[in-house]
Amino acid sequence: MTVYVDADACPVTRIVEKTAKEYGIPVVLLCDTNHVLTSDYSTVKIIGAGADAVDFALISMCVSGDIVVTQDYGIAAMALGKGARAIHQSGKQYTDGNIDGLLADRHIAKVARRKSKNHLKGPRKRTSEDDKRFEESFRKLIESCIL
């Protein structure tokens, strides 16, 4: 098992590394040339800039049994299709039971944004409670994979 992180602007990268290290699970951080990362634990893969380059690289690397950390529903859907597990930075686990609804909601929101001249606000500021929730959910996911 390997944990793959869609690490471009991912706020939980260090939590993933710390937790995976405790379990002895390797981590691969994927980012584009605009978000260069360094790590003492993870393997860092810098992928050339380009629309969806990191996404396609991540999906080509992951296999059944791996864990993917991403906020992108499309990446999560492809990871699930390969038999990997996927988790959002909020701690919500993507499953075969919820991914279709999430993708449909994403499409509806995209259509609404195109029609409206009023853009929605960005996400709220991340809190320490958000980090705790993610770490707890990530631990549970790891433990369900290794049992």
Domain of residue 54, CATH code: 3.40.50
pLDDT over 90 (residue 104): no
| Three-state SS at 124 | coil
pLDDT over 90 (residue 103): no
Look up the pTM and report it.
0.88
Distance CA 45, CA 38 (A): 10
Q: Give, in order, the Cα–Cα distances in Å from 99 to each of 31, 75, 82, 90, 145.
A: 24, 11, 14, 15, 19
Tell me the per-residue pLDDT of 65-92, one tens digit each, with 9 for 90 and over: 999 999 998 999 999 999 999 999 999 9
Q: Which domain covers residue 61, as residue numbers?
A: 3-146
Provide DSSP, 11-71.
TTHHHHHHHHHHHT--EEEEEETTS----SSSEEEEEPSSTTHHHHHHHHH--TT-EEE-S
Tally the domains of the chain. 1
Tell me the per-residue pLDDT of 122-147, one tens digit each, with 9 for 90 and over: 667 889 999 999 999 999 999 999 87
